[in-house]
Structure 1
Amino acid sequence: MVAKDATSGPAADWRPEAKDQIPLRPSLGDEIYQRLVDDLISLRIPPGERLSIDGLARRFGVSQTPTRAALIRLEAEGLVVKKQYSGWSVGPLPTLDQFEKIFELRSLIEPASAARAARHASPEALSDLGTIAEEMRTLAAENIGGHRARLVVLDSRFHTAIARACGNELIEDTLGRLFTQMHIFRLRYHSDVAHAVIEEHLDILAAIAARDPSRAETAMRGHIDAGRERIETHVRRSD
């Protein structure tokens, strides 16, 4: 009897094909997290509000497991807090001390991040930044006062996209935590300065697209310094 060749047969003919690849999709926990981040930074869910895992699960039509995972992630970023007997609730707005520390760290990291993005941003990353900027332009042509929450979300997405484009995962992770804490405070003061903020973003994008690290760094530093001045007075009044 002739032994069968171990490499022959249907199994040996199988080869992986592109169509076999399963596309990556965000998990339910990631989707719930992003929905809640949008609600929190827009203040649709106000500071101090109780958060029920069961209630949120019913709202999103999911089980409690991914809902709990999203809340744990938000707790790690300081957007929600959990107390032993009262459960989950929305965290307080940043204090003056937190505000100053956040901006100090941003001023150290973000200009360098923008310079790195000017060197390393992929065409896809530049396209993403351009899409965000174009949506900002569209909102600026309308009644900005009616789009404050959306502008804050876009602002956060813009800075996050630059951090991602810079090619350093540690910078991206660090800045991501800062943005979620910082932008929740900005909504109440955003409409008065929205046009200036949008123009500053466009200047940063232009420098990155031109592959000019020095100009991108300078534009980002000016944007952060201007943001600190715009917000600090209001933070001091509420602290």
Structure 2
Amino acid sequence: MTDHNSLRAPMLKRKVLADYVYEEILSSLIDGRREPAGTISIDGLARELNVSQTPVREALARLEHTGMVRRVALKGYTVAPLSTAAELAQLVDARLVIEPTNAEWACSRATAELCDALRETIERLGASHTGATYAEFRDYWKADEDFHRIIAENADNPFVLAAYKTLGGQIQRFRYFAGMGVTDAESAILEHTAILQAFLDRKPERAREAMVEHLQGVKSRSVRDSGGTA
């Protein structure tokens, strides 16, 4: 008889290792410890983190989808440059195409459990540190990502969900918080709370409007923090 527990343990161990490697590389990228356009050595990272090359390759593939690293044919991976103000604005414009619809659809089928899950992410936002390093604002970023992800997953459309996942959420913008900390926590919490209220009131159109207002605020603040104009 197959011992399913004995099979599950190595799989769990591998996932924990993969997540650890991903977080370590992501931290170095967000904190600016790796120069934009700099070459990334898979072998060097493996030695630095004391792991095999496999979890490093897996982590870099995941990071490529976020736009944090770029893969160049025959050359390997390089660190992506910081997004320009115009690129950050375009990213939010893309989110404005998808996320208000997600909010409307998810609100139309909202349950008490969904509202509780959204409320929990807002509570985490308020309780999280917003300091100048990734280690300090990591929990804040995760809570922010979870809020939008939960809404997207509950919109109940796998194709729209797939499109949402390709955008990489807020990760590019958070690179600008390295060295200064999160600059708009108060505004973001208020805007998330307005979206939650629409869910509690079971008002899908208001949920759409509140998401638009939130993302427009994100766009304005992103451009400001990047020091440019869209």
Q: Compute the TM-score of the two structures, normalised by the length of structure 1.
A: 0.72
2:90 counterpart of 1:101: yes
Considering only CA atoms, is the larger Rg found in Structure 1 or Structure 2? 1
Tell me the residue number matched to 2:189. Answer: 198
Unaligned residue ranges in structure 1 (runs of 5+): 1-13
Cα deviations across residues 136-159 of structure 1 (Å, max 9, x unaligned)?
1213xxx64464444233322322
SS at match of 2:78: strand
Query: Taking structure 1 as reference, are residues 118 and 28 closer, same or farther at Cα in structure 2, changes over 3 Å only?
Result: same
Query: Taking structure 1 as reference, are residues 116 and 34 closer, same or farther at Cα in structure 2, changes over 3 Å only?
Result: farther
2:173 counterpart of 1:183: yes
Distance 1:126 1:61 in 2: 42
Query: Taking structure 1 as reference, are residues 191 and 120 closer, same or farther at Cα in structure 2, changes over 3 Å only?
Result: same
Return the match for 1:220 from 211, 214, 218.
Answer: 211
Return the match for 1:166 from 138, 150, 155.
Answer: 155
Q: How many pairs were matched up?
A: 220
Return the match for 1:132 from 118, 121, 127.
Answer: 121
Q: How does 1:49-128 map to 2 (within 5 A)?
A: 49-58=38-47, 62-84=51-73, 87-121=76-110, 125-128=114-117
State, as a whole percentage, how many aligned pairs show the same letter. 27
Distance 2:162 2:71 in 1: 23
Tell me the residue number matched to 1:232. Answer: 223
Unaligned residue ranges in structure 2 (runs of 5+): none
Over aligned residue pairs, what C-alpha RMSD do you find?
3.7
Shift of 1:194: 1.4
Distance 1:153 1:171 in 2: 21
Q: Compute the TM-score of the two structures, normalised by the length of structure 2.
A: 0.74
